[in-house]
Structure 1
Amino acid sequence: MFSLEERSRAVELYLTTPMTTAQVVECLGYPTRQCLERWLAMDPRYAGRMAKPIIPLETRRKAIELVLGGMQQKQAAKQLGVSVGAVHNWVRAYRRGGMAALQPRNQNAAQGGKSASVRPRGGADAGGGDDVEALRRRVEELELENALMREVVEVVKKDPGADLRRLSNREKTMLIDRLRPRYSLRSMACLLRIAPSSYHYHHARIGVDKYAGLRARVARAFADSKGRYGYRRVKAALGTGVSEKVIRRLMAEGGLSAHVPKRRRYSSYEGETTPAPGNLVNRDFTAERPNEKWLTDITEIKASDGKVYLSPMIDCHDGKIVAYTAGFHPNAELANRMLAEAAETLPDNARPVVHSDRGCHYRWPGWLELMERYGLIRSMSAKGCSPDNAAAEGFFGRMKTESVYPEHWEKRTRDEVLVLIDEYIHWYNHERIKQSLGWMSPVQYRQSQGMAA
C-alpha cells in the first residue's frame, strides 16, 4: 500500500512535468504504470482524459530511428523511457503507413497542460501545422509508392499490380538501388518492409556471380567432350545438383552449343540383285540383352585427299560398337571383314539378328556365306526407307555432329581420318555417357551389369 503523500507526489510529478508515466515510475521507483494511471484517472485535472497519455511525436520518431538503425526495441524503449509494447506498435504503424501513421490521434498531443509542442493545448490553430506536415509526408509516400510500382515492371519483371511487400529481399534491393538517388533509403526500406541490414547484405552481393565456379566447370566439361556434349550430358558429367535449365543458360551465355547435324549420307543401293529377307526388326531398336539385335550400314567421310568409308556393327542393347572397319573404298571386303570381326566376339549359342539396308554389300555372295557360317539371321529395311534403320543412321549423325564437322575432318588426310575414327569410337564405347544407360557409357554399363565388355 502506498500512502496518500506518495500518491500525491507521483500524480503531481506527472502533471507538472513533461514526464510520461513510464518516466515517473522510473524516477520515483514506484508504483507500476498501471497503478499510476489509476491514480491519475481519479484526479479531477485528469478526469475525462485518456488513461494513457499521448507520447510526443518527436519521441515516436526517435524510437523509429533507433530501431531502423539496428537497435533492439527493448533497448530503444528503455532509452526513451517508454514501454516495449509502445515501440512495437509504432514500428508496425510506421511500416504500414510511414511517418503519418505515427501522428497521435489527438493532434495537440497534450493532456492537462502536457504538450509535445510549444503551442497551448486549446489554441485554435494547434493542429494546423501538423496536419500540413502530415499531408506533405503522405504525398511523398504516395509518389514513392507509384515510382516503385513503375520500376517493378522494368527491374523485377513483375506485374504492375504486384504487392511490393511480397517481393523477395533481393528484388526489393534492386528496386531501392534504382530509386535511391531520388528517395531516401529509410523511406523505401520502410515502404518495402525490408530491414536496412538486409538491404546492405543483398546490395553487396548483387554484382557477384554465384555460378562463377560452375561456369568454369561447365566450360571444362564441354571442352573435355570436344564440344560434343549438350547441356544434359554436361550436367550428368558434372554430377551437379543444379537444374538442367541452369546448365543450359550457362552454356548459352558462354556460347557453348553442340553442333547442328548436316544431312548427307552415302548410298550403296544398286537394285535388287538377290531376294531380300523380311524386316524382322520392324523399327524396334531395343534389346533386352547383348547380341540379340545388331545393326549395320556404311557411311562416307570426306578427307582432303579423297573419302573414307566406315562400316560399324551396332548392338541395340546399349549402342555399343561391336566391331567396325574403315577404308578408302566401299567394297564387299569392307563389309565382310567387319562382319567376321563382329561374329568372332559372339559367345557360344548367340545368334543375333543382323539388320541392314538394301545395299549391295549385304546381298553379295561373300556376305551371305558369312551369315550362314556363323548362323546369323538376316533382316533388311524396305526399299529407300531410311527410318527402318534409324538407329544406325543416328550413330552416323552423332559422330559427324560431334566430331567430323566441328573438327573439320575434311581438312585432314585419309590416313589421319582413319586415326580419328579409331579415337572417336573408342571414346564412344568407353567414355560417352548416355541417359538411357543411367549416364554411363556402353562399356561402363556392361561392367556395372556384370557383363563382358
Structure 2
Amino acid sequence: MTKRKRQTFDPSLKLEVVRMIKEQGLSVQHVSESMSIGQTAIRRWLAQYGAEQNGQPGIGKPLTAEQQRIRQLELENQQLRQDGDHLKKSLGLLCPRNEMTYQLIRQLQKEAIPILQSCRVLNVSRSGYYEAQRRPAKPVACKAGVHLRAAFSASQQSYGSRRLVTAMANAGFHLGRYKVRSLMRQAGLKPVWKRKFVHTTDSKHDLPIAANVLNRQFNPSAPNLAYATDITYIRTGAGWLYLAIVLDLYARKVVGWAMAPSMPAKLVCDALNMAIQQRRPAPGLIVHSDRGSQYASELYQDLLSRHGFVCSMSRKGNCWDNAVAERFFLNLKMERVWQRQYANHAEAKADITDYIVGFYNCKRINSVLGNLPPAIYERTMAAREPIVVSEIT
C-alpha cells in the first residue's frame, strides 16, 4: 500500500486563507470546500494566527504594536460598515416592498426606537408610513413569489429565469419558465449590467508560442487533467485592478487566482502556484491560455517545465479556444463587478474573493454540470465511482 504524501502549504497561502475567514467573514466550510483544504488544517492555521495576535509564535513573524493597532482599526471600520448596512440588507432579502418596511418600523417602535429614526435608516418617508397605517390591509403575497425573491437575492441578483426555475425546484416549487418570468416582472426582478472594456492580451511579441494542445476539449474525464487560465481587469476608484484565474475544466472550478494593479508575468505565476498548492496536479497536466506576453514569458514557462505541465495556447485572435475562462469572467462581471462601485483595490479584492469562494465554487448553479455548483459536482462524481484518469489528446 502506497503511503499518502502529506500536503505542505506555504506560509503566504496560510495567511491568505486566514484573512478570507477573519477579514471577509467567510466560513471555514466554504473555504475548505472551495480550496480543497481540510477543515482541521484551516482551524489549526486560525489558532496559529490567534497565537500570533497575542505575541506568541504563529504564522510568520509576530506583529508590531503599530501593525496590531492598524489591524484593529480596520476591523472596527469594517464592523461599523456592516452594522450600518445590516437593516437595509436584511430588509432587501425579505422583501423589497414598502409593506415589509412598515412592518419592521412597527416592530422597532415596540423596542422604543423612534419612528423618525427608523424611517431615516430605512429610507422611507414618515408621511408614507402614516398613510399606510390608515389604508386597509392588502392580501399577503403568494408563497412562491416570496421564495422567488429570496432565491434572486441569494444569487446576488444575478440569476435569470432559467436558473431561477432550478432554484425554485430545489425549494419545492415546480414552476415553468414562463411562470417564473411573469413573477419576475411582477416583482421587478431584472439582472442589470453594463459592459466596459480594457485591452489585456498583448500577443505582439517575439516570445515562443505553444501549439493549441487542448483544441477545445473542455470536458476532461477527471480532475487535474486540463486547466484554463486568463487575465481580466476590474475598475476601481483607485485605478484598474487585474485578475488572473486558473480553472479546472473538469468541474469548471476556480482553483487559483491572483490580483494586482499591473499585469506582470508574476501575476499569472501566482495564480498557477495557488492552484498547484491546492490540487497537487501530476506531470502531464495541460495548462491552456491565450498568447499574451505573460504566458509566453520565461518566468511562466519555467514554472510549467518545473512541474512537468504541458503548455497550450489559443490560436491568434481566437477567443473561442479559451471560451470557458472567458465565460467565467463574463459571469463574474455580470453577477458581481458591474453591480458594484469599488472605492479601492482592497475592497475589490475582498468582494471578488467572496464571489469565488463563497458563491461561485460552492453555490452558483452551473448548467454544464447538471445544475450543480462546481464543488458539489466534484464531490458527487467522486462518490459515484472511482475516477479513471485518461490523457487528453
How does the TM-score come out when normalised to structure 1?
0.51
CA deviation after TM superposition for structure 1 residue 254, in Å: 1.8
CA deviation after TM superposition for structure 1 residue 428, in Å: 0.5
- For 2:269 and 2:205, the matched residues in 1 are separated by 19
CA contact (8 A) 1:298 1:310 kept: yes
CA deviation after TM superposition for structure 1 residue 283, in Å: 2.5
CA deviation after TM superposition for structure 1 residue 320, in Å: 0.1
2:346 corresponds, among 394, 397, 415, to 415
Corresponding position of 1:424: 355
The higher radius of gyration belongs to 1
SS at match of 1:242: coil
1:445 corresponds, among 373, 377, 382, to 377
CA deviation after TM superposition for structure 1 residue 299, in Å: 0.5
Within 5 Å, give how 1:292-311 maps onto structure 2: 292-311=225-244
CA deviation after TM superposition for structure 1 residue 436, in Å: 2.2
Q: 1:212 is aligned with what amino acid?
A: C
CA contact (8 A) 1:291 1:351 kept: no
Corresponding position of 1:355: 288
Which stretch shifts more, 324-333 or 415-424? Answer: 324-333
Q: 2:284 is aligned with what amino acid?
A: R
Q: 2:202 is aligned with what amino acid?
A: Y
Within 5 Å, give how 1:145-294 maps onto structure 2: 212-239=142-169, 240-260=173-193, 262=195, 264-294=197-227
Q: 2:316 is aligned with what amino acid?
A: K
CA deviation after TM superposition for structure 1 residue 382, in Å: 1.4
1:375 paired with 2:274, answer no
Q: 1:220 is aligned with what amino acid?
A: A
Corresponding position of 2:278: 345
CA deviation after TM superposition for structure 1 residue 272, in Å: 3.0
Q: 1:368 is aligned with what amino acid?
A: Q
- For 1:322 and 1:235, the matched residues in 2 are separated by 28
Higher RCO (Cα < 8 Å, 6 or more apart): 2
Q: 1:226 is aligned with what amino acid?
A: Q
CA deviation after TM superposition for structure 1 residue 415, in Å: 0.9
Within 5 Å, give how 1:398-413 maps onto structure 2: 398-409=331-342, 412-413=343-344
Unaligned runs of 5+ in 1: 1-207
SS at match of 2:181: helix
Over residues 161-214 of structure 1, what are the superposed CA-to-partner deviations in whole Å (9 max), with x where a residue is unaligned?
A: xxxxxxxxxxxxxxxxxxxxxxxxxxxxxxxxxxxxxxxxxxxxxxx9998211
Within 5 Å, give how 1:40-79 maps onto structure 2: none
Identity %: 30
Q: 1:432 is aligned with what amino acid?
A: R
Q: 1:241 is aligned with what amino acid?
A: H
Q: 1:317 is aligned with what amino acid?
A: Y
CA deviation after TM superposition for structure 1 residue 258, in Å: 2.1
Corresponding position of 1:82: none
CA contact (8 A) 1:266 1:298 kept: no
Q: 1:429 is aligned with what amino acid?
A: N
Aligned residues: 243
CA contact (8 A) 1:286 1:316 kept: yes
- For 1:249 and 1:319, the matched residues in 2 are separated by 31
- For 2:184 and 2:233, the matched residues in 1 are separated by 31
Q: 1:416 is aligned with what amino acid?
A: E
Unaligned runs of 5+ in 2: 1-137, 387-393
Tell me which stretches of 4 or more aligned residues in structure 1 moved more than 4 Å: 208-211
Change (3 A) 1:259 1:283: farther
Q: 1:418 is aligned with what amino acid?
A: K
CA contact (8 A) 1:261 1:397 kept: no
Over residues 220-264 of structure 1, what are the superposed CA-to-partner deviations in whole Å (9 max), with x where a residue is unaligned?
A: 110111111111222212222121221122112222122346252
Q: 1:441 is aligned with what amino acid?
A: P
Which stretch shifts more, 310-319 or 339-348? Answer: 339-348
